[in-house]
Amino acid sequence: MTVHGDDLAVEVRGLRKRYGEVTAVDGVDLFVRRGEVFGLLGPNGAGKSTTVEILQGHRSRDGGEVRVLGGDPASGTRAWRSRIGIVWQDESAPAELTVRETVRHFAHYYPAPRDPAEVIRLVGLEEKADSRVKGLSGGQRRRLDVALGVIGGPELLLLDEPTTGFDPAARRRFWDLVRKLAAEGTTILLTTHYLEEAEALADRLAVLAGGRIAAEGTPAALRERYGTEAVVEWTDPDGTPRDERTTTPTAAVAALMERFDGEIPGLRVGRPTLEDVYLRLTGQEDAR
């Protein structure tokens, strides 16, 4: 990828991190343009959270070069950290405060925060604004964590599995929030297990497997590059369901038409999905 350094919010070359005998990140190169939504995918243990922690300056690295918003996270100043928002997998809000008190409290940590009431509305917690954090459901607490991640009006927002515990409606509201932030110019790096979420939000994706980048590109480019096989399904005359994986689905359907002398019972042609590509790249094809 040919991009000038000034156009990059995140620039990572040869990133490495070990925990004892375990290599969590093994020579990762990662480039995130300013203003884009970038998805980082991978199974548990692939190195996603470790990479995000290093980018934020929360964890040290063993090797490689890292630049985030023009600075090295290993020596990030308070002013540099105020330009980055992060939503961890673990909850961070104090249990005894109300939602409104919590968001207002965190707003004081930043030089130019967003309006707390606006942020509460954006994450769909208006009706719970005066409820104590300890009384919220798991999904509501997760939404509050997102509110705390965006209250500072960050240039870069790091989202580590942000919609875990969300119901479908809350997840869609969160997607709208991400799109709104991106439209305002916020750069967003998202880790997620939800392939639908990654496809809906990300301009580009990288798939981590075994601490390395297995593939990178737009969702459409990844499907085209790695999702070469379609699945043709039909039902035999005796009622037995059949399927065939093929790179030439049109030819397969034509052959079936000759065999059935016309209409093919139960015919269905499935094109490769992002999930198919992800499972192939991470060695989990048998998980289908």
Average pLDDT over residues 1-18: 82
More confident position, 285 or 177: 177
Q: Which residue has the tokens 């038409």?
A: 257
pTM score, two decimals?
0.79
Sign of the CA dihedral running 227, 195, 49, 155: positive
* Tokens, residue 5: 């350094």
26 CB burial (10 A radius; 0-12, 13-18, 19+): middle
Looking at residue 220, what is its pLDDT?
A: 85
Distance CA 199, CA 205 (A): 9
pLDDT band at 281 (very low <50, low <70, confident <90, very high): confident
CA distances from 47 to 15, 84, 153, 168 (A): 11, 20, 27, 27
Looking at residue 92, what is its pLDDT?
A: 67
Average pLDDT over residues 103-120: 94
Looking at residue 98, what is its pLDDT?
A: 96
Cα-Cα-Cα-Cα torsion 16, 27, 163, 56, nearest 10 degrees, comes to 40
pLDDT band at 229 (very low <50, low <70, confident <90, very high): confident
Average pLDDT over residues 33-47: 91
**Residue 284 reports pLDDT greater than 80:** no
Distance CA 208, CA 282 (A): 8
What angle in degrees, to the nearest 10, is found between the helix axes of 219-226 and 274-281? 60
Nearest Cα to Cα of residue 88 among 134, 137, 55, 65? 55
CA of residue 275 relative to chain centroid, distance: 13
